[in-house]
Protein backbone atom coordinates (compact mmCIF):
# COMPACT_ATOMS: atom_id res chain seq x y z
CA UNK A 1 0.00 0.00 0.00
CA UNK A 2 1.37 3.40 -0.93
CA UNK A 3 1.64 6.19 1.59
CA UNK A 4 -1.31 8.59 1.39
CA UNK A 5 -0.52 12.07 0.09
CA UNK A 6 -2.03 14.65 2.44
CA UNK A 7 -2.65 18.39 2.46
CA UNK A 8 -3.26 19.98 5.87
CA UNK A 9 -5.43 23.08 6.26
CA UNK A 10 -5.16 24.83 9.61
CA UNK A 11 -4.64 28.48 10.42
CA UNK A 12 -2.23 27.73 13.29
CA UNK A 13 1.30 26.92 12.07
CA UNK A 14 1.95 25.00 15.30
CA UNK A 15 -0.91 22.60 14.53
CA UNK A 16 0.40 22.05 11.00
CA UNK A 17 3.89 21.31 12.32
CA UNK A 18 2.55 18.95 14.99
CA UNK A 19 0.50 17.11 12.36
CA UNK A 20 3.54 16.82 10.07
CA UNK A 21 5.47 15.15 12.89
CA UNK A 22 2.57 12.89 13.87
CA UNK A 23 1.85 11.78 10.32
CA UNK A 24 5.41 11.70 8.95
CA UNK A 25 6.08 8.00 9.60
CA UNK A 26 2.88 6.90 7.82
CA UNK A 27 1.97 9.62 5.31
CA UNK A 28 3.45 12.11 2.86
CA UNK A 29 2.39 15.62 3.87
CA UNK A 30 2.64 17.47 0.56
CA UNK A 31 1.30 20.83 1.68
CA UNK A 32 0.02 22.94 4.52
CA UNK A 33 -2.20 25.98 4.04
CA UNK A 34 -3.74 28.49 6.45
CA UNK A 35 -7.10 29.36 4.87
CA UNK A 36 -9.95 27.84 2.89
CA UNK A 37 -9.22 29.59 -0.39
CA UNK A 38 -5.60 28.46 -0.30
CA UNK A 39 -6.81 24.93 0.47
CA UNK A 40 -9.00 24.74 -2.62
CA UNK A 41 -6.17 26.08 -4.81
CA UNK A 42 -3.53 23.76 -3.28
CA UNK A 43 -5.70 20.65 -3.47
CA UNK A 44 -6.57 21.23 -7.11
CA UNK A 45 -2.87 21.75 -7.95
CA UNK A 46 -1.32 19.05 -5.73
CA UNK A 47 -4.03 16.37 -6.10
CA UNK A 48 -3.70 14.80 -2.63
CA UNK A 49 -5.41 11.57 -1.64
CA UNK A 50 -6.74 13.18 1.51
CA UNK A 51 -7.18 16.59 3.08
CA UNK A 52 -7.14 17.28 6.81
CA UNK A 53 -9.22 20.41 7.17
CA UNK A 54 -9.94 22.57 10.20
CA UNK A 55 -13.60 23.57 10.35
CA UNK A 56 -12.79 27.13 11.42
CA UNK A 57 -10.54 28.30 8.58
CA UNK A 58 -10.43 32.01 7.68
CA UNK A 59 -11.49 33.47 4.30
CA UNK A 60 -13.50 30.36 3.40
CA UNK A 61 -14.46 28.12 6.30
CA UNK A 62 -13.56 24.45 6.23
CA UNK A 63 -17.08 23.27 5.46
CA UNK A 64 -17.42 25.56 2.43
CA UNK A 65 -13.91 24.69 1.25
CA UNK A 66 -14.69 20.98 1.62
CA UNK A 67 -17.90 21.35 -0.36
CA UNK A 68 -16.02 23.16 -3.15
CA UNK A 69 -13.37 20.43 -3.20
CA UNK A 70 -15.88 17.57 -3.33
CA UNK A 71 -17.59 19.27 -6.30
CA UNK A 72 -14.27 19.48 -8.17
CA UNK A 73 -12.67 16.27 -6.86
CA UNK A 74 -15.37 13.82 -5.73
CA UNK A 75 -12.82 11.07 -5.00
CA UNK A 76 -10.89 13.28 -2.55
CA UNK A 77 -11.09 12.11 1.07
CA UNK A 78 -11.85 14.76 3.69
CA UNK A 79 -11.14 14.47 7.38
CA UNK A 80 -12.36 17.39 9.44
CA UNK A 81 -10.51 18.56 12.52
CA UNK A 82 -12.26 20.71 15.08
CA UNK A 83 -12.15 22.00 18.63
CA UNK A 84 -15.95 21.96 18.54
CA UNK A 85 -17.88 18.77 19.26
CA UNK A 86 -21.16 20.34 18.05
CA UNK A 87 -23.11 17.48 16.43
CA UNK A 88 -24.69 19.86 13.89
CA UNK A 89 -21.27 20.81 12.55
CA UNK A 90 -20.15 17.18 12.46
CA UNK A 91 -23.35 16.18 10.65
CA UNK A 92 -22.81 18.90 8.07
CA UNK A 93 -19.24 17.65 7.51
CA UNK A 94 -20.57 14.14 6.85
CA UNK A 95 -23.27 15.49 4.50
CA UNK A 96 -20.49 17.13 2.48
CA UNK A 97 -18.77 13.77 2.22
CA UNK A 98 -16.28 13.66 5.09
CA UNK A 99 -14.72 10.33 5.92
CA UNK A 100 -14.22 11.38 9.54
CA UNK A 101 -14.68 14.21 12.03
CA UNK A 102 -11.92 14.25 14.64
CA UNK A 103 -11.78 16.49 17.69
CA UNK A 104 -8.41 18.15 18.11
CA UNK A 105 -8.42 17.11 21.77
CA UNK A 106 -8.25 13.44 20.71
CA UNK A 107 -6.25 13.85 17.51
CA UNK A 108 -3.29 11.71 18.50
CA UNK A 109 -5.45 8.71 19.32
CA UNK A 110 -7.94 8.87 16.48
CA UNK A 111 -6.35 10.62 13.53
CA UNK A 112 -4.10 7.87 12.16
CA UNK A 113 -6.93 5.36 12.44
CA UNK A 114 -9.29 7.75 10.61
CA UNK A 115 -6.74 8.25 7.83
CA UNK A 116 -6.21 4.51 7.42
CA UNK A 117 -9.97 3.90 7.21
CA UNK A 118 -10.50 6.75 4.73
CA UNK A 119 -7.73 5.56 2.43
CA UNK A 120 -8.96 1.96 2.62
CA UNK A 121 -12.53 2.94 1.58
CA UNK A 122 -11.67 2.58 -2.11
CA UNK A 123 -9.20 -0.30 -1.78
pLDDT exceeding 70 applies to what percent of the chain? Answer: 97
Q: What is the pLDDT of residue 123?
A: 54
How far does Cα 111 stand from its chain's mean position?
10
Beta strand ranges found along 4-94 (DSSP E): 5-9, 28-33, 50-54, 77-82
Which of residues 48 and 120 earns the better pLDDT score?
A: 48
Q: What is the pLDDT of residue 68?
A: 97
Lowest mean pLDDT among 21-25, 41-45, 49-53, 57-61: 21-25
What φ, ψ does residue 13 adopt, rounded to 5°? -55, -30
pLDDT, mean of residues 58-70: 96
Residue 106 has pLDDT above 90, yes or no: no
pLDDT, mean of residues 42-54: 97
Q: What is the pLDDT of residue 85?
A: 84
Architecture label for domain 5-107: 3-Layer(aba) Sandwich (3.40)
Which of residues 1 and 109 earns the better pLDDT score?
A: 109
Residue 36 has pLDDT above 80, yes or no: yes
CA distance 97 to 23: 22
93 near 80, Cβ under 8 Å? yes
Average pLDDT of the chain? 93
Amino acid sequence: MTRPRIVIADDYPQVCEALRKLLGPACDVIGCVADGRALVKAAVELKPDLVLVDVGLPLLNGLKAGRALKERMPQLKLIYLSMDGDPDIANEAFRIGASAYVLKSSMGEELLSAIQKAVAEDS
